[in-house]
Amino acid sequence: MPNPPTGFQHGITLDQAQRVATAALEEGRRLGLAPLTVVVLDAAGQMKALLKEDGCSLLRPAIAHGKAFGAMGLGFGGRELARRSQGMPGFMNAFSDLAGGAAVPVPGGVLVRDGQGAILGAVGISGDLSDKDEAAAVAGIKAAGLTPDTGDDA
């Protein structure tokens, strides 16, 4: 009888997720940002890591999750989701309804890709302005040796 599998693989590893989250918070401190909450989801959209700094408000974990979940839900970084939200509000309202209200289409939701471009997961950060949240997410992803996808080509 063959040995059972050792576990399912869902993209980003726990070690990578922890590195991303820790490095993102470090970048936030370096930039002097407001207290941040970082959520890392795996390729199945499941929570892999959550770090919430002291001083974060009550809904920051839900907002950070929503940024990452929205990116995973459509396979676009938060910047592209924000553009589509402006250009196709009916579709984005339906998407939000289908996601149970758990998708936040703004910068700060960043896809995590491997060297070949495969999506490993997503990071969502909330606490400061969305552009600053995104900068911390990008820094965290890069610190883990992975590729960020904000939804911009640049």
Percent of the chain with pLDDT over 90: 75
Would you give the distance in Å from CA 75 to the centre of its chain? 11
- With contact defined as beta carbons under 8 Å apart, do 152 and 144 qualify? no
6 vs 124 pLDDT, higher one: 124
Segment 55-59 mean pLDDT: 95
As a whole number of angstroms, the distance between CA 54 and CA 29 comes to 12
For the cut 70, the answer to whether the pLDDT of residue 3 exceeds it is no
- β-pair partners for 40: 49, 123
- With contact defined as beta carbons under 8 Å apart, do 78 and 107 qualify? yes
For the cut 90, the answer to whether the pLDDT of residue 101 exceeds it is no
Segment 70-87 mean pLDDT: 91
User: Is the CATH number of domain 14-52+59-149 1.10.10.10?
Assistant: no
Strand 119-126, strand 109-113: pairing: antiparallel
pLDDT classification of 140: cutoffs 50, 70, 90: very high
Q: Please, what's the b/e burial string for 97-114 (b: 16 or more CB within 10 A of its CB; e: otherwise)?
A: eebeeebbbbbbbbbbbe
pLDDT of res. 152: 86
As a whole number of angstroms, the distance between CA 22 and CA 61 comes to 15
User: What's the pTM?
Assistant: 0.90
